[in-house]
Structure 1
Amino acid sequence: MKIPKHRLSAGAIVRDEYQHILLIKNKYRGWEYPGGFVNNRESIQDGAIREVEEETGIQVKIIDLIGVYQNKQASSCHFLFFATPLSGQLKFNDESEGIGYFTIEEALQMISQTTCKERVLHSTHENNWPYLYINS
């Protein structure tokens, strides 16, 4: 029997005290919320927290689960959390070209990837959390 190989990723919608969300401009994908792959022996929440700090310089606290997004074709699963900033300074990393907090309206205009845009929209409907989205 062949052992399955799945890709597990996590990200966070980080909102500041003005309800602006934190976005990074990835060199390849454009504007998006911070996130990435979960390491071996790392919890999903810790993966999201680590990715936010690595990509933005901001330490965050996970507040809630926004949704779980499975792509069966790619054998991948993405967990999206809602988080608030605790400390840190905005800083670039080697994968990013831009970083900042933006209104939801600004963010939706800036984000070009449909999947990312849909997830940011999900983050604005707290009464529907958590989402479960399965893409075959």
Structure 2
Amino acid sequence: MLNQKLAVAVMVTDADNQLLLVKNNYRGWEFPGGFVDKGESIKNAAIREVKEESGIEIDLTTFLGIEQEIAKMKSVMIFQGVPVGGKLATSKESKDVGFFSIDEAMSKIRVAVFQDRIVRCLNKEAIPFIIER
């Protein structure tokens, strides 16, 4: 039987309204995130993935939307969060990490879907969004 895969991504914004990005080995720069583990809550997965990939501890503040990749049977729950501790650090999942202005983030991200994600997440009138592709 085929099962849907559930993932999370988090737009972490600091006090200067900069965005936290992680540089993945394959996709390049993006929001931190990943798959929800068996027996794990969506909220805990979001917090864990940000910490694992960036070293930053967060509180989730807002549910932003869902992106569903129908052919891949994958849904990504997207949240906004704020840093509450930790220190920027790379991991086995990230080659680089940092906080960037919106313009810097848009220029660093090479995957169009991830650029579109930033635009959607910053458009308060469109939240929460449901994207199907």
Task: Report the TM-score when normalising by structure 1.
Answer: 0.94
For 2:34, the equivalent position in structure 1 comes to 36
Looking at structure 2, the residues matched to 73 and 50 of structure 1 have their Cα atoms a distance apart, in angstroms, of 27
* Aligned-partner Cα distance in 1 for 2:131–2:121: 14
Identity %: 34
- Amino acid in the other structure paired with 2:14: D
SS at match of 1:69: strand
Structure 1 residue ranges without an equivalent (≥5): none
Helix, strand or coil at the partner of 2:95 = strand
Deviation at 1:92, TM superposition (A): 0.5
Alignment-derived partner of residue 110 in structure 2: 112
What per-residue deviation string (whole Å, max 9, x for no partner) do you get for residues 87-108 of structure 1?
Answer: 0000000122211000011101
Alignment of 1:1-136 (within 5 A): 3-135=1-133
**Matched position secondary structure for 1:96:** coil
Cα distance in 1 between the residues matched to 2:94 and 2:25 = 6
Q: List structure 1 runs of 4+ shifted beyond 4 angstroms.
A: none
Q: CA RMSD in A?
A: 0.9
In structure 2, list runs of 5 or more residues that go unmatched. Answer: none
Secondary structure of 1:93 counterpart: coil
- Mapped to 2, the partners of 1:57 and 1:99 lie a distance apart of 9
Q: Which letter does structure 2 place at the counterpart of 1:7? A: K
Give the letter aligned to residue 29 of structure 1: R
Give aligned pairs, total.
Answer: 133
